[in-house]
Structure 1
Amino acid sequence: MKILILCTGNSCRSQMAHGFLQSFNKDLIVASAGTEASGKLNPNAVKAMKEVGIDISHHTSDPVDMYLDDEWDYVITVCGGANENCPAFLGKVKHRLHMGFDDPSHATGTDEYIWGEFIRVRDEIKEAFYKFYKDEIEPQL
């Protein structure tokens, strides 16, 4: 089973989703990419995932072009608000899904508030991707 998770910058939400899916089943082939890949991971995303025992520090922020020639069982976009453009994937895909999440890297305010946004979004991603895994992926394995 091959799953590609797409976002714009590929530094935060897509990376967390990638980490969670891989933690649910090590045999899944999971990649994440961005239409405007930042080339780096958001340090707060890495820290938030480490807090729940998942190390994504070795992930890379990759441009979606790297994956266009591959075939995917699922391509999932995770961008959020109406002001944000969700990437379109033009490669070979069996199923396209969208699960929108707020971008915690856009949070402003106190350090406490910003960290709280990373935790909130991380937990929302975990819940949504676990449901996706149990409902969609596991029955096919």
Structure 2
Amino acid sequence: MGTTDRVPVPLLMRMTAHPLRWALMTELAASDRRVRELVQAVGEPQNLVSYHLRLLRSAGLVDARRSSFDGRDSYYHLDLSRCAAAFGDAAVALHPALAPSGRPWPKDCSVLFLCTGNSARSPMAEALLRHRVTGVRVASAGSHPKPRIHPNAARALREDYGIDLGAQRPQALDAVADRRFDYVITLCDKIREVPRDHGRAVATHWSLPDPATTGDTDRATYPEFRRLAAELDTRIGFPPMPTAMSSAHNN
């Protein structure tokens, strides 16, 4: 029996060993993407990109979610939390001293979260980032702000994270138009389709559905608000990284 028979290669290593899969994961580490954007980014045919995306999905590293803007489209999302755990396990399997440490948000950086109504996704992200990371300047805004923060957004943050949104009110994009940010993160598929200049900011998209549309009553939608908060909290643990495509979406 050879050495390779006795020591199985971790699944993550088998997935990332292929150059195209690594390129796809690198793109998805920076932002949620549609297939056509991944095809453009890696310069390979769509059928080949789709094949390798299926392999990454079967390995549990990548997931897909229908666009809330255009239901014919899907956004692919890299599960960074699972990747971190898998990379850590693989490193420790090689040598315990190789256990990785996380990459923090840059000191004194400024972050803007954008969605349509600024009543749930973006204010929740703003509050969670401010709660988790000290020394960051963070704001949120909406293209069509609602009159108030959704009560389930406030409830989910208060009950699960001890965060009080207090008297916070949704605000329009005009309120932050004169400010410059290091990171601009869109959380709504619709607002991502509106071209705008974010200067030198790293532009990232997190494709997240509006939790308020998942039921007819606040009671029915509350579990989705809690799920959204948990996903936001996880994603905040992985600061966005710049790519050429990130810069392209600034224009």
Counterpart CA distance in 2 for 1:58 and 1:88 is 31
State how far apart, in whole Å, the 1-side matches of 2:144 and 2:232 are.
21
Out of 115, 135, 145, the residue aligned to residue 27 of structure 1 is 135
Aligned to 1:13: 121
User: What is the aligned length?
Assistant: 131
- 1:113 Cα deviation after fit: 3.8
Summarize deviations over 1:38-61 as a string: whole Å, max 9, x none.
Answer: 131001000000012111233221
What CA distance in whole angstroms lies between the structure 1 residues aligned with 2:217 and 2:141?
Answer: 29
Q: 1:27 to 1:112 in 2, by over 3 A?
A: same
More helix by share: 2
- The offset of 1:14, in angstroms, is 0.4
The answer to whether the 8 Å contact 2:185/2:204 transfers is: yes
Deviating beyond 6 angstroms after TM superposition, the runs of 4 or more aligned structure 1 residues are: none
**Do the aligned partners of 1:9 and 1:35 also contact (CA within 8 Å) in 2?**
yes
Whole-Å separation in 2 of the counterparts to 1:115 and 1:31 = 24
CA distance in 1, matches of 2:230, 2:200: 27
Relative CO higher for 1 or 2, CA cutoff 8 Å, sep ≥ 6? 1
Cross-structure match for 1:61: 170
Query: What one-letter code is carried by the residue in structure 2 that aligns with 1:123?
Result: A
2:183 matched to 1:74? yes
Distance 1:88 1:122 in 2: 27
- For the Cα contact (< 8 Å) 1:70–1:91, is it kept in 2? no
Between the aligned partners of 2:173 and 2:219, the Cα distance in structure 1 is 33
2:135 aligned partner, one-letter code:
D
Pairwise CA distance, 1:17: 0.4
CA 108–21 in structure 1, closer or farther in 2 if over 3 Å, else same: same
Q: CA RMSD in A?
A: 1.9
From 221, 227, 232, the equivalent of 1:114 is 221
| Identical positions, percent | 32
> Which range moves more in the overlay, 16-25 or 49-58?
49-58
Match of 1:15, SS?
helix
Q: Distance in 2 between matches of 1:25 and 1:128?
A: 13
Aligned to 2:238, what secondary structure does the other structure show?
Answer: helix
Contact 1:6 1:75 in 2 (8 A): yes
Is residue 45 from structure 1 mapped to residue 177 from structure 2 by the alignment?
no
More strand per residue: 1
1:131 alignment counterpart: 238
Distance in 1 of aligned mates of 2:199 and 2:213: 32
Q: Secondary structure at the match of 1:97?
A: strand
Deviations 1:14-50 (A, max 9, x none): 0110011101123211000001111310010000000
- Structure 2 counterpart of 1:101, from 208, 211, 227: 208
- Please give the secondary structure, in 2, of the residue aligned with 1:76: strand
